[in-house]
Amino acid sequence: MTETTQDVLIVGGGMAGLAAAFTLRENGASVMLLEQAAEFGEVGAGLQLAPNATRLLKKWGLLDEVLAVGVTPDHVAFKDARTGEPLLSQDVTGVFADTYGAPYVVVHRSDLHRVLLERCRVAGVTLINSVTIENVVTTGDQAIATAADGTIYRAGAVLAADGLKSRLRTQISDDEPISSAYVAYRGTVPTAGLPSDQLINDVTVYFGPDCHMVQYPLRGGELLNTVAVFRSKSFESGIEQAPGLEELQEAYAGCVPHVQESLKHLWHGIRWPMFDREPIEQWVDGRMLLIGDAAHPMLQYLAQGACQALEDAAALQELTRGTVFVDGRVNVSAWRQVFDEFTEIRQPRTARVQTAARVWGESWHVDGLPRLLRNMLFKASNDDVSPHTDWVYGHALESSIDAVKAARPVAASV
């Protein structure tokens, strides 16, 4: 059994863990990140990054790298999957991007993950694979994390970024992931050779009863990304993975030919069951803090999972600067203050996103009179959904942090 010690230990090498690792490293912390998998990587296909996330990438000097491997779509458009009728087409260029100070970007998950991972390596984060942390306990001014192989890791603070099914969250809450009854199939295909009517530079969402489909380009338009989400009887019965295409095809049987044809673009060997959790008020256990999906897992309807992970990292960077990390010194006693301030700022924000994502998703999948009313409301928007999303995209994280800092006792920043 060996022991290692550092300022910050991060458990989990997804978006939240990597972003927190390099931002705290830039504050001067010694940071070790432990990943359970044998290799770093991100499973999935496309990812939408709204301006609340791309503003942070711009601030960190990473936006150009992401733009080089991503796409800035022209519109986020919504259509009725049964009729193909256009309902709303929000322009996300020009005035939209100027208003929020950054563009709307779609990028392959693995590409964003690679950009963050490389930033960690350049910054000097210690990255270790094949480590499973069983528990974290606090003793005095140290957090002690014990791995499955008996290795002990000591740190001034532990950030638990171990995802939706977080093992470390069980130290704080006995809740469980909640099934949405929906599953997602994903897939990408090269755009070369596709019919011209399938070459788009928009994020297009097709609403169908108990299903929807999202399509948008990736990697500079070289790939077309397709995500098909539907209410699954097999998943409701407790089966997370179900082979065969019959259930998938049945879910989209009443949709327009384009949607049905697009099912061919999906990877049929795997599906992603969709879970979230109820918001919890407490994310702290001694010197351990939950971040990312370990703290606030959400359904994907607002496309904010990765965005909120980046906001977590930005908040930690600002709150620890001048408190935990001061002029090259480490004030270990300030971690509890930072954890409390982080929770004060981030918990209400992420709880709202979690609950709004559920409501947004319910509106996508209605039928009958609710479907007619939804379509009428979307068409009546005059192609401007910003009154309903401005609170997400225009969130002033810096203002929230400044307000918390202003309320600190003078001695706390010394």
**pLDDT tens digits, 265-302:** 999 889 999 999 999 999 999 999 999 999 999 999 99
**Distance between CA atoms of residues 139 and 384, nearest Å:** 53
**Distance between CA atoms of residues 253 and 262, nearest Å:** 12
217, β-bridge pairs: 224
Rounded mean pLDDT of 186-204?
92
User: Does 27 have pLDDT greater than 70?
Assistant: yes
**Distance between CA atoms of residues 395 and 303, nearest Å:** 15
- Give the pLDDT score at 114: 97
Q: How long, in residues, is the chain? A: 414
- Which token pair is 76? 């986020």
Residue keyed to tokens 């059994």: 1
Q: How much of the chain, in percent, has pLDDT values that exceed 70?
A: 98
How far is the CA of 317 from the CAs of 33, 60, 103, 133, 404, in angstroms?
A: 16, 11, 23, 24, 14
- Torsion sign across C-alpha atoms 357, 103, 309, 208: positive
Q: How much of the chain, in percent, has pLDDT values that exceed 90?
A: 86
- Give the pLDDT score at 269: 87
- Could you count the other beta carbons within 10 Å of the beta carbon of residue 258? 17
* Helix locations, 365-396, DSSP H: 368-379, 386-393
pLDDT tier, 94 (very low <50, low <70, confident <90, very high otherwise):
very high
- Torsion sign across C-alpha atoms 68, 70, 75, 76: negative
- Give the pLDDT score at 198: 85
User: Does 17 have pLDDT greater than 90?
Assistant: yes
**Distance between CA atoms of residues 37 and 311, nearest Å:** 24
- Give the pLDDT score at 222: 95
What b/e readout covers 331-364, taking b as 16+ CB neighbours within 10 angstroms? beebbebbbebbbebbbebbbebbebbeebbeeb
The string of pLDDT tens digits covering residues 201-245 is 999 999 999 999 999 999 999 999 999 999 999 999 888 887 678
Collapse the DSSP code of 114 into the 3-class scheme (helix H, G, I; strand E, B; otherwise coil) and give the result: helix
User: Does 179 have pLDDT greater than 50?
Assistant: yes
- Which token pair is 83? 């009729």
**Distance between CA atoms of residues 288 and 294, nearest Å:** 12
- Give the pLDDT score at 243: 64
Nearest to 352 by CA among 294, 304, 292, 317: 304
pLDDT tier, 414 (very low <50, low <70, confident <90, very high otherwise):
very low
**Distance between CA atoms of residues 111 and 70, nearest Å:** 8
Rounded mean pLDDT of 165-192?
96
The string of pLDDT tens digits covering residues 328-367 is 899 999 999 999 999 999 999 999 999 999 999 999 999 9
User: Does 83 have pLDDT greater than 80?
Assistant: yes
- Give the pLDDT score at 3: 80
pLDDT tier, 412 (very low <50, low <70, confident <90, very high otherwise):
very low
Residue keyed to tokens 């989990």: 12
- Give the pLDDT score at 410: 66
User: Does 1 have pLDDT greater than 50?
Assistant: yes
